Amino acid sequence: MYRLFSLPYLQNTTLYFERIRHLDAPVFLDSGKPAGRYGRFDIIAANPEARLSYQHGLTHLTTASSDEQLGGNPFTHLQQLFSQYQQHCPEPQQTEIKALPFCGGLLGYFSYDLGRSLETLPENTIADIELPDMQVGIYSWAVVIDHESNTAQLVTTPLINTADAENILQLLNHDGETGSRSFTLAAPFKSNMSEPEYYHSLNRIDQYIHSGDCYQVNFAQRFSSRYTGDPWTAYKLIRQQAPTPYSAYIETTDGAILSHSPEQFLEVVERRVTTKPIKGTRPRGNNPALDAQLKLALHDSEKDRAENLMIVDLMRNDISKVCEHGSVRVPKLFAVESYANVHHLVSTITGNLAADKTPIDLLEHSFPGGSITGAPKIRAMEIIDELEPHRRSIYCGSIGYLSFSGQMDTSITIRTLICENGQIHCWAGGGIVADSETADEYQETYDKVNNLLAPLERTIGKSSG
């Protein structure tokens, strides 16, 4: 049976994560609260019962007693794994557990390049990050912090016995020093393309648009440096400056994923599907009057509205493949959401998941998200592969969960960094359309990542911890 254990409510939930971080495969899904404007729940988990990864065309399934290599579609193996464990952990009936966003189930990430398992794409870009294209686990317990009700609870599934639950509780209630080590960046971040190279690529995209190949391409540049120390410290430095509702920290074999995303990809609650693509950005103003002016300019921009509408149409088409006929709606179009460094133009699309479809079907048929590819999706992805020097890896993929209760929530991994083998990478891009101004698009990439890179660059030549 499922069980709930009350914990002291902590506004700073990084403390709970630090108490279990030494366990296997720890995950922190972070709403950015209390500083963030949006978001509600934080989810913390570790020690998965099984792990599923996808790399070099093979799916690897690892449990305590076995290690298998599987061919074929990784989403098929993902569905089989989830269904297998859901037999032991059926949908909970207790009201207080059904109210939780996550009561055990799948947690993990899906890289942008997982899309290569679904579509045949060129192999032009340099693959220099060794991170698997997918890494998820079946987690049998989780800490769920609700920043609206100011509660914190440990939820355990039928997979956990009483002794294991007590051990986890002891760790979570231990308020001794856990902390983190220092983090130091070796040098300022450097882009993988010069400004003239960026301009040349945008000119090529403009040619593709005017020749009818595509309507929009999401083009990005990558910023890289070297570091020493603890990626968790870097995550917390950025978190202080840029709280966002779809943040996440995931430990990997050789480093970590540090995601500070404002964008929801796909949510399923009681079989109701929601997706909220972001398209359209302005920097925040340095005084209230200028800030309001920039916000209004974004809301009224014909160019940004057209860019947003292209992606709304694409996402409507993607989710309609697995939703009930006629159920897809756009209840909110061109809403402005404001974050620490930028204003974003956000639309909301909803639908009802068809009776014979699952949340994993929805993920497969919508992946990768339309807001970070372009339209039409496959042609845009081919152009991205032609013009971006390196593979995107986790950038523009997704992080999230699928609970045994059937609830799912996932992000688009923009504003996301990877630490691996002493290298640190971060990306920024934007949607390029027919009337895009190259200089504006170039500056927008820096507007999006300045508050991620700046806190880390301040550690150059010093120790931060």
Measured in whole angstroms, the distance separating CA 30 from the mean position of its chain's CA atoms is: 11
**Nearest CA to 234 among 447, 30, 418?**
418
Please provide the DSSP assignment of 441-457 as one string: HHHHHHHHHHHHHHHHH
Contact assessment for residue 31 and residue 247, using Cβ atoms and an 8 Å cutoff: yes
Q: Give the span between the Cα atoms of 220 and 431, in whole angstroms.
A: 9
* Contact (Cβ atoms closer than 8 angstroms) between residue 166 and residue 156: no
Q: Are 321 and 273 in contact (CB under 8 A)?
A: no
Locus of tokens 């290569």: 116
Instruction: Compute the distance between CA of residue 164 and CA of residue 160 in angstroms, rounded to an integer.
Output: 6
Selection from 353, 355, 374 nearest residue 364 by Cα: 353
How far apart (Å, rounded) are the C-alpha atoms in residues 159 and 152? 21
- Structural contact between residues 330 and 317, judged by C-beta atoms closer than 8 angstroms: no
Catalytic site positions: 263, 279
Q: What are phi and psi of 185, to 5 degrees?
A: -85, 140
Question: What whole-number distance in Å separates Cα of residue 465 and Cα of residue 455?
Answer: 12
What are the residue ranges of helices labelled H in 174-194? none
